[in-house]
Homo-oligomer: A and B are copies of this chain.
Amino acid sequence: MTKKTAHSLRLRRVAIDTYKENVAYLHRDCHIYRSEGFQALTKVEITFGQQRPLLATLNVVDDESITAPGQLGLCLEAFQRLGLPEGTEASVAHAKPPASLHAVHRKIAGERLDFADYEAITRDIVEHRYAKIELAAFLVACGETGLERDEVLSLTRAMADSGEKLDWQEPLVADKHCIGGIPGNRTSMLVVPIVAAHGMFIPKTSSRAITSPAGTADTMEVLAQVELPLDNLHQIVRKHRGCLAWGGTALLAPVDDILISVERPLSVDSPGQLVASILAKKLAAGATHLLVDIPMGPTAKVRNQAEALRLRKLFEFVGDRVGLQIEVMVTDGHQPIGRGIGPVLEARDVLQVLENHPDQPRDLREKALQLAGRILEFDPDVRGGQGYSLARDILESGRAMEKMHAIRKAQGRTETTPPLGRLCQQIKADRDGHVIAIDNLQMARIARLAGAPMDKGAGVDLHIKTGEHAAAGEALYSIYAEFDADFAFACEAAAQNTGFTLSD
């Protein structure tokens, strides 16, 4: 067998931001480009001495000021992650297609994959061997009814094994997670302070929003740093019994974050991927006890009791087999929770509840207390049925607020919270009536168009909720945005469909 050829080039930083996709640049006249018969979009394997090889997609350059013959250009993120100086000697060769793509093709053809397949797939993804179109193919192939429950279990294990794993050396490590789909549903930021104030250990790692206008990490970022080094995170949790940090930087189940970079622009989020993604992160984060919140309603992710039951069973099936004690609560998801939708507005709601403010959104407070109560009952010393009143005492006494202050300070409190978007428009009722429905999907869509979660101050502020009366001309909600184009899109969407249904 002939040896793989490799040729020497000099590394060069190319100041182009290609967002999570490794892109390498070679000049069209470079002897290596010509002799190896590369094509634009070829996948190449780049080697720097003894380091692990780097996989990248090739772009071909005709301009020496970007990358000259004899140089190997590398896009910003890949260059920074690599951490080698310009001029470092590099060799480049055709990359073999990742072996695990065969398994993806079997999945597309409707076959059942086993643990070894999922392990190989996640390993190749973490090593950046998959192009974006290959990630998209994998996600869609797993979509909807595509995964059997044994496969979800295999995928969960493989994802949990794909990165670091935390071991807290604690007998009970509590966590909570909502499957999402309900705008404004920021209960974690209340549950964590309440539970930690009781002394229970709850190191909450959160994701950023995938398809929603704000995730817990996006909202917490309004109040404190959420991207923390692992060492730092450990110290904070040991001291305060809780934290509200983003799992992404903590290297937990890193394959999840790569999948999300494609899930997000594609807006795909299937049940099997959902369960695997949630449980893998929790396992890697060292959780032993987990409360899962499944909101149900006509415009929620889960529309009826049968679906909710199926999802609950899937969580329980996988949870039992990976050693996580899981409680599932099916909650009211027929409208947004709280008033604000978007990071700054949701952070305001959370603070009002913690402050026991007279204007606090009652539904957010009530839901947070119910969830916190169920988690407190994981504690063997808490009597069954007593969790709710214990949680209420902690909140009303101000101990939850104190705990939140301590966590913010420990994670790095933001100097100034970002302002609301400078552009604002009220959307008004066109006639008298009671609000009989608010469409979660439409409200989320308007808030996203307005710029949330990327623009912290963008979003929607609800003034009237289901069951309340609206007079003709009264404001149903306000749209906030930072940028003109976003503002125009959001207002246009609201003009076409307010998301509110009024009674006759």
Chain A residues within CB distance 8 Å of chain B: 1-5, 14-19, 25, 28, 35-37, 39-41, 59-63, 65-66, 76, 93-94, 96, 101, 105, 108-110, 131-137, 139-141, 143-145, 262, 265-268, 451, 454-455, 482-489, 491-492, 495
Contact = CB atoms under 8 A, between A and B. Distances in A.
A18 B40 contact: yes
Contacts of A16: 25, 59-63, 66
A60 B139 CA distance: 27
A18 B59 contact: yes
Given A17-B61, A37-B454, A105-B267, 5 more contacts: A2-B488, A4-B488, A15-B66, A101-B267, A110-B144
A63 B36 CA distance: 29
Nearest to A267: B105
A262 to B, nearest CB: 6
A67 to B, nearest CB: 9
A136 B144 contact: no
Contacts of A110: 144-145
A211 B495 CA distance: 48
Contacts of A137: 136-137, 139-140, 266, 268
B17 A62 contact: yes
Contact of A40 (B19, B39, B135): B19
Nearest to A75: B59
A96 B265 CA distance: 12
Contacts of A59: 16-18
26 contacts: A1-B488, A1-B491, A2-B484, A2-B487, A2-B492, A5-B484, A5-B485, A15-B61, A15-B63, A15-B66, A17-B61, A35-B483, A36-B485, A37-B454, A37-B486, A39-B454, A41-B265, A66-B66, A109-B144, A132-B132, A133-B265, A133-B266, A134-B265, A136-B136, A136-B137, A137-B268
Task: Count the copies.
Answer: 2
B486 A94 contact: yes
Nearest to A262: B133
Determine chain A's interface SS by DSSP, over half rule: mixed
A139 B482 CA distance: 37
Contacts of A40: 17-19
A76 B108 CA distance: 34
Considering residues A37, A39, A133, A482, which has the most beta carbons from chain B within 10 angstroms of its beta carbon?
A133
A491 B3 CA distance: 10
Contacts of A105: 267-268
Given A1-B491, A1-B492, A491-B2, A17 B485 contact: no
A37 B483 contact: yes
A108 B454 contact: no
Nearest to A108: B143
A136 B140 contact: yes
Contacts of A37: 451, 454-455, 482-483, 485-486
